[in-house]
Amino acid sequence: MIEVKYEYPTYAKLIHLGLAFFGVAAYLTSEFADDDVTSIGYLLHSYLGLSVAVMIVMRLIVGSTSSGALSFKDWSFFSIQQWKFALQDFRELLSLNIPEREKHQGLSGITQAFGLFIFTWMSVTGTGLFLLGSGVESEAFELIEEIHEVGETLIPLYLFLHVGAVALHVLCGKSIWKRMFKFK
């Protein structure tokens, strides 16, 4: 396959960095959230999670309103073509070749959509928990907390897929990470 060349604008890089930093930090501080709502650990996790929510809202707004690098316009992971590309990409990987696609297509598009879904899920449920307050143990709170914890188990899977794909590209001599982290 031909290597696809493209760069991301600075705003896209900042949104990606915000999601990565706040998302990983919120995940790593999740055990601290079991404490009392007034504890430093709970507040640290909550505010990191709310920062993820802000970044997700920015990402969704930019994706829905722009025609630029983060646009959802040509990105449909429900389309038959997307899944055909993903199957071709999977075959390429089984043949020990690294697939190259345009942004948001094939396996990379599905992986990125999965990440946005998980981050959105965690942001919505985490914000709900924050607004309800853990001092009020209601049925709604318990349900949202369980849904939030299910999402928590999916984050390592997403990070494995996303970071693993980047690492695989680097090992094959294709430093695609520079598209996102190279600032001029």
The count of residues in the chain is 184
- What average pLDDT does the segment 109-129 reach? 92
Structural domain boundaries, residue 41: 10-181
pTM score: 0.82
The residue type found at 32 is: F
Q: Percentage of the chain surpassing pLDDT 70?
A: 86
In a domain, 122, yes or no: yes
pLDDT at residue 1, as a whole number = 45
Who wins on pLDDT, 136 or 121? Answer: 121
pLDDT band at 150 (very low <50, low <70, confident <90, very high): very high
For the chain, how many structural domains are there in total? 1
Please give the mean pLDDT across all residues of the chain: 83
Beta carbons of 104 and 74 less than 8 angstroms apart: yes
In a domain, 93, yes or no: yes
